[in-house]
Amino acid sequence: MTVEVLDRPSGETPAEATLRIADCDIHPSPKSLEREIHPFLERRWQRHLERYGARPRQPFLNGPAYPKGQPDAARRDAYPPAGGRPGSDLAFMRAQHLDPNNVGFGVLNPLKSGQGLQNLDFADAYCRAINDWQIAFWTREEPRLKASIVIPYEDAAASVREIERCAGEEDYVQVFMLNRTAEPMGQRRYWPIYDAAAAAGLPLAVHAFGFGGAPITGSGWPSYYIEDMTGHAQSSQAVLTSMIFEGVFDRLPGLRMVLIESGFAWLPALCWRLDRVWMRMRDELHRCKRRPSEIVREQVFLTTQPMEEPNRPRQLVECIDWIGWDRLLFATDYPHWDFDQPDRVLPSWVDAEKRRAFFTDNALRVYGRQMP
């Protein structure tokens, strides 16, 4: 077996070194719940959190269902020198990531919020607090960073209220969900959320992970973290299938969906399969009016990380050719361990126009923004 090496000849400057890039998946954390979140959370819910904990649909009160490969699933070099969790110190994030990687536009995707918690009232209150916190502690301080509207999606009415509350604030660039919902995301209990996102002109961002309660495989819970991590790609495929077959994109032709942090190389094969299944059972899929691959080409985008890594990088480029260079939004997942380093993800022979689309222009177009 031959190996193509991604290393560039010395002396050649990667395009990304001069290109201001968009990073569509950055994970901020509060330095301290008391100082940063409590100001936005009613006293009652502060007490609730202390007494009962967050209680998502999983076994453990603290931490994830599957122990990660490293603490906080973070790069070990991402702990701020001044203390605190990775992703909690804006100055260090600038110094370690935004500045050296020339990030001109970064989307914050908070993972610890009220999303997927069993108590819907608490979920609602906690999501609101996280939204206010992003503005106060992050986007006001750093114009390169933009916020996500996190919503308690198992309660569509509360989610709509929160989208409407936040949508006027320019710093929010998307409505944010986790992909492991209680039911497949295309089902109608969630439709008011998509109506509200479309009405606000905001993309619907769907990030891997979550706490829907269903095992990540159709055969039940796997044993290992590697299975859980690999499984996010299957979850995203199920989410996309549900959204397409339930006709969400046909109801809302202006809705744009961004699938975050589940890679992308699975998309061509899924589209080939969905097209065939749709042709065969069109009479069952009465709400889905267009070929699935056509819907994807018009309304669906994916962030790149964690990029699949074939032994031959050329094969990944061929896969992007199938998807289309206008569909992918570069993301690092900073400060997490499966971070993608911008100057190492594409072979050097990919041309400048494609690189620009991949690293910058697609994101600015989807989010309707300019580089600040």
Partner 1 sequence: MTRHVVAPVSEFPPGTRRCVVLEGRRIALFNVGGRYFGLLDRCPHQGGPLSEGVLTGLVEAGAPGDYSFSRPGEILRCPWHGWEFDLATGKSRFDPRRHRTRAFRVSAEPGEELRAETVPVRVEEDYVVVET
Partner 2 sequence: MTVLPPGAIDCDLHPAPPSVSALMPYLEPHWADAAAHRGLHELETIAWPPNAPLSCRPDWRDGDARPGSDPARLISDAVDGFGTRYAILNCLYGAPMLYSEDMAAGFARALNDWLKAEWLDRDPRLRASITVPPHAPGLAAEEIERAAEDRRFVQVLLPVMGETPPGRRINWPVYAAAERAGLPVAFHAGSAYRHPPTPVGWPSYLAEDYAAQATAFQAALTSLIAEGVFQKFPDLTVVFAESGVAWLPAHLWRLAKYWRGLRMEVPWVDRSPEEIVRERVRFTIQPFDAPEEPDAVARLLEHLGSDDMLLFATDYPHWQFDGMGALPEGLPADLVRRIAVDNPLSTYPRLREGKP
d(CA 125, CA 137): 18
Binding mask 41-80 for partner 1 (x = CB under 8 A): ----------------------------xx----xxx---
Which residue's CB is nearer to partner 1, number 79 or number 264?
Answer: 79
Those residues with Cβ within 8 angstroms of residue 90's Cβ, 6 or more apart along the chain or in another chain:
137, 138, 141, 142
Binding mask 7-36 for partner 1 (x = CB under 8 A): x-----------------------------
**Under the criterion CB under 8 A, does residue 295 sit at the interface with partner 2?**
no
Those residues with Cβ within 8 angstroms of residue 372's Cβ, 6 or more apart along the chain or in another chain:
104, 105, 143, 144
Residue among 95, 281, 344, 372 that touches partner 1 (CB under 8 A): 344
Partner from partner 2, partner 1, none contacting 231, C-beta within 5 to 8 A by type: partner 2
Count the residues of the shown chain that bind partner 2, applying the rule CB under 8 A: 68
Which residue's CB is nearer to partner 2, number 139 or number 305?
Answer: 305
**Under the criterion CB under 8 A, does residue 140 sit at the interface with partner 1?**
no
Residue among 61, 141, 224, 368 that touches partner 2 (CB under 8 A): 224
DSSP letters, 190-221, are: GHHHHHHHHHTT--EEEEEEE--SS-SSTT--
Which residue's CB is nearer to partner 1, number 217 or number 311?
Answer: 311
Site for partner 2 in 184-223 (CB under 8 A): 184-187, 212-223
d(CA 260, CA 331): 8
Residue among 32, 217, 315, 341 that touches partner 1 (CB under 8 A): 341
Measured N-to-C along each axis, helices 267-280 and 313-323 cross at an angle, to the nearest 10 degrees, of 40
**Under the criterion CB under 8 A, does residue 225 sit at the interface with partner 1?**
no
Partner from partner 1, partner 2, none contacting 285, C-beta within 5 to 8 A by type: partner 2
Question: Is the distance from CB of 208 to CB of 261 less than 8 angstroms?
Answer: yes
Starting at the edge strand found earlier in the chain, the sheet holding 172-180 runs 21-26, 103-108, 145-150, 172-180, 204-210, 257-260, 300-303, 328-329
Closest CA to 190 of 170, 212, 221: 212
Closest CA to 178 of 213, 145, 146: 213
Partner from partner 1, partner 2, none contacting 276, C-beta within 5 to 8 A by type: partner 2
Q: Write the single-letter amino acid at 202.
A: L
Q: Which helix (H) or strand (E) holds 166?
A: helix 156-166
Residues in contact with partner 2 by CB under 8 A are 69, 179-187, 212-227, 229-231, 233-235, 237-239, 241-242, 245-246, 263, 265-266, 268-270, 272-274, 276-278, 280-281, 283-285, 306, 308-311, 315-316, 318-319, 322, 337-338
